[in-house]
Amino acid sequence: MRWLPPESRSRHAIRDHIEANLDPVEDHQEITFLSTCYDFPWDTQRALELALVRVFGIAKSSPLLVRTGEFLERTQKRYDDTVLILSEMLENGYDSERGRAALRRMNQQHRRYTIPNDEYLYTLSTFVFEPVRWNERFGWRPLTGKEKLATYHYWKQVGALMNIRDIPPSYEAFERFNVDFEAEHMRFSEDNRRLAVATRDLMLSWVLPGALRPLGARVVHALFDDRLLDALGLPRPSPALRRLVEGALRARGPVLRAMPRRREPRLLTRKKTRTYPDGYRVEDLGAQ
Strand ranges (E), 121-238:
none
DSSP percent split of the chain into helix, strand, coil, nearest 5: 65, 0, 30
Q: What is the DSSP letter of 284?
A: G
Rounded CA Rg of the chain: 19
Mean pLDDT by groups of 10 residues along the chain of 288 residues: 81 96 98 97 97 96 91 94 96 96 94 92 98 98 98 98 97 98 97 97 96 97 98 98 98 94 94 94 88
How many whole angstroms separate alpha carbon 257 and alpha carbon 144? 16
Dihedral pair phi/psi, residue 164, rounded to 5°? -80, 130
The pLDDT, as a whole number, for residue 1 is 58
Residues facing 186 on adjacent strands: 58
How many whole angstroms separate alpha carbon 53 and alpha carbon 40? 20
Domain boundaries, the chain: 23-187
**Torsion-angle region of residue 142: left (phi > 0), alpha (psi -120 to 50) or beta?**
beta
The pLDDT, as a whole number, for residue 8 is 86
Give kind and range of the element (H or E) at residue 46.
Answer: helix 41-56
Instruction: Give whole-number Cα distances, 173 to 94, 143, 168, in Å.
Output: 24, 19, 6
Q: Which alpha helices (H) appear in 37-189, and where do they start and end?
A: 41-56, 62-68, 70-73, 75-92, 97-110, 117-138, 145-161, 171-185
